[in-house]
Amino acid sequence: MPILSEKERLLRKIQACSFALVEANLYLDSHPTCRDGLAYFARHKAEKEKLIAQYNEKYGPLTISQNNSSKKWEWVTSPFPWERSVD
């Protein structure tokens, strides 16, 4: 198994949270009042938002909608999330 960089590990965590949110969404579609399901969704949503903020801070915006600079278009100043880089 290849050794992952810190950036790749962070991306994997974001992907795992995204998967959990999709699964929770599907469950909640048929169980909309399930408190455990709602709590699970909220927990993973908060975790994903935290991880995305960490990624944006360290590596730049993960998506174009996360470009927060009014001074420059940060999206093109660092490698795209899917590109490998040397950490």
Average pLDDT rounded to a whole number, residues 31-54: 97
- pLDDT tens column, 11-39: 999 999 999 999 999 999 999 999 999 99
Residue 22's pLDDT is: 97
Locate 9 and state its tokens: 């590990």
What is the spatial distance between Cα 71 and Cα 50, in angstroms, rounded to a whole number?
24
Mean model confidence pLDDT for the chain: 86
